[in-house]
Amino acid sequence: MNMSVVGKSVKRVDTLGKVTGLARYAGDLSLPGMLHAKIKRSNIAHASIKQIDVSKARALPGVKAVLTHQDVPRVLHYGSPHPRSASVTKDQYILDNKVRYWGEGVAAVAAISEEIAEEALDLIEVEYEKLPAAFTVEQALCPDAPLIHDTSPGGNLVMDPVIVTRGDIERGFAEADLIIEGEFKGGRPTPAYMEPNVCLCQWDGNGKLTVWISTQAPFMVRGVIAEVLGLPLNNVRVLVDHMGGGFGAKQDLFQNEFLCVLLARESKRPVRMELSRKETFLSGRSRHPVHVWLKQGFKKDGTITARQALLTFNSGAYGSHAPGVTGVSTASLTSLYRCENVHLEGRAVYTNTPIAGAFRGYGCVQSYYPLDIQMDEAAERLGIDPAELKLRNAVRGDDIAPSGHAVTGHGLEDCIRRGMAEVKWSEVRAQAHETSGAIRYGWGMGCEMHGSSAYPGIKEQGNAIVKMNEDGTVTLVTGTTGLGTGAHTALAQIVAEELGVKFEDVGVVHGDTDVTPWDIGAFASHTTFMGGRAAQMAAAEVKKQLLERAAERLEAAPGDLDIADGMISVKGVPGYQISVREAIAPRLGLPAAHLVGTASYHPTKSYSFAAHFVQVKVDTKTGQIEVVKVVPVHEIGRTIHPVAAAGQIEGGIQQGIGHTLTEDYVIDTTDGHSLNPSFVDYKMPLSMDMPPIHTIIIETAPNPGGPFGAKGIAEDPIIAIGPAIANAVYHAIGVRFHHYPITPEQVLDGLRKKNEAAPRPGIAA
Amino acid sequence: MKQVVAVTINGEAHELAVEPYRSLLDMLRNEAGLTGTKKGCDVGDCGACTVLLNGRPVNSCLVLALEVNGGDVVTIEGIQSGPDRLHPLQENMMKFGGSQCGFCSPGIIVMAKALLDENPNPTEDEIRFALAGNICRCTGYTKIIEAVAATAKQLSSGKEITP
């Protein structure tokens, strides 16, 4: 297909404001009479609140409102945005008479300045009755463990275990020539978006609430607030313009939104509440820490005969996305590498630790890290090159994907082959390793697949309105949110392409729940795939109306007309054309044409694929692992904006290198408090840590469900990089790691154990 | 009690009344209405609040407002080459894809300008070193480094560089 706008790195619609400082984020706004709010947080991980005395705080001059659990509606709510889906749990109150993790909010204050609000927090006296706590999954699963919620299906389980079975694993293992099993552990990385959570709330004289907020899911924020406060949806307006990242976590509500809303109602003033960086750690959402037991059977030729796994996720103090993450993660092990006989079980467990939630990669980071590393181990035992073994087993067209759909195309095989050729895989793997010096180099590779859209966990829906104005320009009205990915630019490109107009002639209206069509939120790598397809369909509707109008002028049938670059012409009649602007222009007696297209799209699922190839350098004296080079190959069906797509890949790799080597939000397992809630102590890869990334995007398996065949890209890049690094480390030093992050002291420890185990030279056996 | 700070911001003289404990960052955002400078951590860890103080880059959250009395401050809003002309760093950050969520972009651009003012032809390592205090969580830095390197080339050669 010949494209004029799609596939070009046009000037993004959102970046001019960002590079000039004029882009408005929710935290940049202020209103006359605005108050500042703060949350009093628990300094104990599990306790009942016996008494809470706010009299001194209320008496402090400048304090305008104080709220405790006695002052707020006691309604159990979904802390996450997809009520009535299978992905989330209903186990939170705005403020409870209990606390379940260190740092949970117990009261809130609004005052004329942040300093007075903070002073008031110190004047609030809370008397706790300490409860026995469970800080680890092991503790929480003990028969006599303290119960953290009374809504559990049993003990501290968040929900009933997820069981996925296909074929017959007993037969599969019986047919195997080689059986490998292993245990794996994943740490607690956090999204660490740059913009702390912030909201500004105002009630107008007619009882209507407006909320300016940094969220990925404004319609879900509207829905949850309305539900909890008993308001009709048209009395809650949620506005999001620019936002400083979310990476999945900003789908949830974080207590502060409700409290800000209620403080504004109580004080009859606008109230702004911005979390400190420390609070974004304490009350934020991390990836679920995980323990995975994985067993696979292989034939001599590398065919996988059976796969069995038990995945246990630490949900922290609340359920949040535990059901969704557990479901996606468990089901993900049915695929990537083909296997007909699987038995998989996933559990999620409450503990008295910070809440785990949605984070880019949504369960697939936790499942494909073990799976891919075990493939590497199997390859060595079978005497097959690891990339070759993965290629032989790679998921392919018509295989059943984790969602239950047939896979389209051969994207993963194409990624593996392209990467192998690009890095000259057999050569670099065969190079003899320097074994005398302290520095060792190694190459590894890892694979992943990830769905665009949360189907079947959530039945999703993308909506769009496209209007053509009387000068021929176009307005796309979309409820999708711009986290910083460039999604609105991609949607405008899709509209321009479909309509045959210039990209610059398409404007985008977004970020207002009163104005835009409903949207489920920006997550699950689905904005371009689903919102983009809806925009394409709405644009097609406008095109149809426009051509009907132009047909009269050109005295031709609408079907004989075509639009390109803003000109409507009769096919096969060169020079016989009018501009879009002429076609829509006001005519005698008719002030303006009303050309509006609306569309609603219910997607199922498409999968994107990637293979990451990585070179690492390991210093055997210090244990330091350095990623020297990354070659990510991604198959995404159709690239809408190459620069933005590559940017997603490179950013995902940065976060993936982070959780694999340095990032871990650490909780003291004696009392549940956080040990590193700051950017100095939570170590992310920065400019000097990041290696060169040679990004390759291929378009060999377009999905008919996406706009022009496009699929998602946001989550894919964080998944394959982890196992690629772990496998490269093994190639470099011969030490196998089954966990992340892999720290320097663990590398040294691993080398020591390996050397102890090795036969000493000169001593006869 | 509030005290008055006399300061030049982006070439304009201001007299701003602030509490003595207020940071330069809060003064810029709340008193001068310049919200382009971002607050990512408020403790000097992230670099999103970087501004030029008397020509040198600082974390404005770590500078007391009173300290800048008589000083000269340049923020992201004052980086442009002319009223309708962006600084090449701004152009290239857009063109090369160095800005995604954009929350770190003002600090990165100001820091990069400080680098190029002092060292017009930095190596890639020098660019990475200069930006080591500016956290970006979206880009993996690849496109930011490309944008800064292209700007250096563009400024010294007078020719536009394309990705």
DSSP assignment of A367-388: HHHHHHHHHHHHHHHHT--HHH
What's the angle, vertex CA A84, arms to CA A82 and CA A86, rounded to 5?
A: 80
Question: Encoding tokens for residue A131?
Answer: 């409860």
Dump strand ranges (E) for A505-593.
506-509, 561-564, 567-570, 577-579
Looking at the complex, does the CB of residue A663 fall below 8 Å from at least one CB of chain B?
A: no
CA–CA dist A19, B87 (Å, integer)? 10
The pLDDT-based confidence of A154 (bands split at 50, 70, 90) is confident
In A349-435, alpha helices (H)? 364-382, 386-393, 411-423, 425-430
Q: What is the pLDDT of residue A765?
A: 40
CA dihedral (B121, B125, B128, B129) in degrees, to 10, reads -90
Phi, psi of A189 (to 5 degrees): -75, 155
Mean pLDDT, residues A219-237 taken together: 95
Burial label, B14 (beta-carbon count in 10 A; 0-12, 13-18, 19+): middle
CA separation (Å) from B92 to A245, B96, B160?
21, 6, 9
Residue B138: list chain A partners with CB under 8 A. 194, 245, 484, 647, 651
Angle, nearest 10°, between helix axes A487-499 and A532-554?
A: 30
Looking at the complex, does the CB of residue A23 fall below 8 Å from at least one CB of chain B?
A: yes
Q: What is the pLDDT of residue A434?
A: 63
The nearest alpha carbon in chain A to B80 belongs to A20
Side by side, the strands of the sheet bearing A439-452 are A439-452, A606-619, A625-635, A696-698
Question: Encoding tokens for residue A544?
Answer: 């149809």
Residue A527: list chain B partners with CB under 8 A. none
CA–CA dist A336, A330 (Å, integer)? 12
Under an 8 A CB cutoff, do A192 and B137 touch? Answer: yes
Residue A337: is its pLDDT beyond 50? yes
The nearest alpha carbon in chain B to A274 belongs to B39
Nearest residue to A231 via CA among A201, A256, A254, A269 = A201
Mean pLDDT, residues A662-680 taken together: 97
Under an 8 A CB cutoff, do A690 and B37 touch? Answer: no
**Minimal Cα–Cα distance from A9 to chain B, Å?**
8
Longest dimension (CA), chain A: 105
Phi, psi of A248 (to 5 degrees): 105, -40
Domain boundaries, chain B: 3-78, 88-157
* Per-state percent for chain B, helix, strand, coil, to nearest 5: 40, 20, 45
Of all residues in chain A, the percent with pLDDT exceeding 90 is 90
Under an 8 A CB cutoff, do B141 and A690 touch? Answer: yes
Q: What is the pLDDT of residue A628?
A: 97
Using the Cα atoms of residue A553, residue A558, residue A560 and residue A565 in order, give the sign of their dihedral: positive
Looking at the complex, does the CB of residue A247 fall below 8 Å from at least one CB of chain B?
A: yes
Question: Encoding tokens for residue A511?
Answer: 């970020």
CA–CA dist A694, A421 (Å, integer)? 13
DSSP A642: H
CA–CA dist A638, A493 (Å, integer)? 13
Q: What is the pLDDT of residues A369-412, one digit of tens each?
A: 999 999 999 999 999 999 999 999 999 999 999 989 899 999 99
Q: What is the pLDDT of residue A435?
A: 66
Under an 8 A CB cutoff, do B139 and A647 touch? Answer: yes
- Which pairing describes strands A606-619 and A474-477: parallel, antiparallel, or unpaired? unpaired
Residue A25: list chain B partners with CB under 8 A. 35, 38, 103
Q: What is the pLDDT of residue A605?
A: 87
Q: Please, are residues A708 and A493 in contact by the beta-carbon 8 Å criterion? A: no
Q: What is the pLDDT of residues A402-442, one digit of tens each?
A: 989 899 999 999 999 999 999 999 999 998 666 668 999 99
Q: Please, are residues A201 and A256 in contact by the beta-carbon 8 Å criterion? A: no
Q: Most B CBs within 10 Å: which of A19, A718, A721, as the mutation test of the B interface?
A: A19
Mean pLDDT, residues A637-657 taken together: 98
Mean pLDDT, residues A245-261 taken together: 96
Residue A257: is its pLDDT beyond 90? yes
Q: Please, are residues A318 and A100 in contact by the beta-carbon 8 Å criterion? A: yes
**Minimal Cα–Cα distance from B88 to chain A, Å?**
11
The pLDDT-based confidence of A145 (bands split at 50, 70, 90) is very high
Residue B92: list chain A partners with CB under 8 A. none
CATH architecture of residue range(s) B88-157: Orthogonal Bundle (1.10)
CA–CA dist A97, A93 (Å, integer)? 9
Q: What is the pLDDT of residue A575?
A: 83
Instruction: Name the residue among B48, B76, B129 with its Cβ closest to that of A194.
Output: B48
The nearest alpha carbon in chain A to B129 belongs to A688
**Minimal Cα–Cα distance from A17 to chain B, Å?**
9
Instruction: Name the residue among A22, A194, A643 with its Cβ closest to that of B137.
Output: A194
Looking at the complex, does the CB of residue A655 fall below 8 Å from at least one CB of chain B?
A: yes
Q: In chain B, what is the straight-line distance between the N-terminal and C-terminal CA atoms, in Å?
A: 52
Intervals of chain B under pLDDT 70: none
Residue A21: list chain B partners with CB under 8 A. 34-37, 75-77, 106
Phi, psi of A691 (to 5 degrees): -80, 170
A15-20+456-601 CATH fold: Aldehyde Oxidoreductase; domain 4 (3.30.365)
Listed by number, the residues of chain A in 79-138 with a beta carbon closer than 8 Å to a beta carbon of chain B are 115
Q: Please, are residues A342 and A306 in contact by the beta-carbon 8 Å criterion? A: yes
Looking at the complex, does the CB of residue A62 fall below 8 Å from at least one CB of chain B?
A: no
CA–CA dist A154, A41 (Å, integer)? 29
Listed by number, the residues of chain B in 55-94 with a beta carbon closer than 8 Å to a beta carbon of chain A are 75-77, 79-80, 86, 89-90, 93-94
Instruction: Name the residue among A21, A194, A652 with its Cβ closest to that of B37.
Output: A21
CA–CA dist B103, B121 (Å, integer)? 26
CA–CA dist A661, A683 (Å, integer)? 9
Under an 8 A CB cutoff, do A678 and B86 touch? Answer: no
DSSP assignment of B71-135: -EEE-GGG--SBTTB--HHHHHHHHHT--SS-SSHHHHHHHHHHHHHH-SS--HHHHHHHTTT--
Looking at the complex, does the CB of residue A443 fall below 8 Å from at least one CB of chain B?
A: no
Under an 8 A CB cutoff, do A687 and B128 touch? Answer: yes
Q: In the A/B pair of chains, how many CB contacts fall below 8 A? A: 175
B3-78 CATH fold: Ubiquitin-like (UB roll) (3.10.20)
Nearest residue to A728 via CA among A516, A423, A397, A517 = A423
Residue B25: list chain A partners with CB under 8 A. none
**Minimal Cα–Cα distance from A380 to chain B, Å?**
32
- Residues carrying CATH 3.30.365.10, chain A: 15-20+456-601, 408-447+606-765
Higher pLDDT, A101 or A89: A101
CATH architecture of residue range(s) A408-447+606-765: 2-Layer Sandwich (3.30)
Query: A258-268 burial, b if ≥16 CB within 10 A, otherwise e?
Result: bbbbbbbbbbe
Mean pLDDT, residues A20-38 taken together: 97
Residue A282: is its pLDDT beyond 50? yes
Q: How many CB atoms lie within 10 A of CB A758?
A: 9
Under an 8 A CB cutoff, do A245 and B139 touch? Answer: no
Under an 8 A CB cutoff, do A19 and B93 touch? Answer: yes
Under an 8 A CB cutoff, do A244 and B38 touch? Answer: yes
Instruction: Name the residue among A194, A247, A679 with its Cβ closest to that of B103.
Output: A194
CA–CA dist A172, A745 (Å, integer)? 39
Using DSSP, state whether A47 is helix, strand or coil.
Answer: strand
The nearest alpha carbon in chain A to B93 belongs to A19
Looking at the complex, does the CB of residue A38 fall below 8 Å from at least one CB of chain B?
A: no
The pLDDT-based confidence of A588 (bands split at 50, 70, 90) is low
Of the candidate ranges A26-30, A239-243, B79-83, the one whose mean pLDDT is the lowest: B79-83
Under an 8 A CB cutoff, do A21 and B35 touch? Answer: yes
Q: What is the pLDDT of residue A459?
A: 83
DSSP A527: I
Residue B137: list chain A partners with CB under 8 A. 191-194, 245, 247, 651, 654-655, 684
Q: What is the pLDDT of residues A267-281, one digit of tens each?
A: 999 999 999 999 999
Interface predicted TM-score of the whole assembly (ipTM), two decimals:
0.98
Residues in chain B, overall count: 163
Nearest residue to A696 via CA among A436, A420, A496, A449 = A420
Q: Please, are residues A410 and A701 in contact by the beta-carbon 8 Å criterion? A: yes
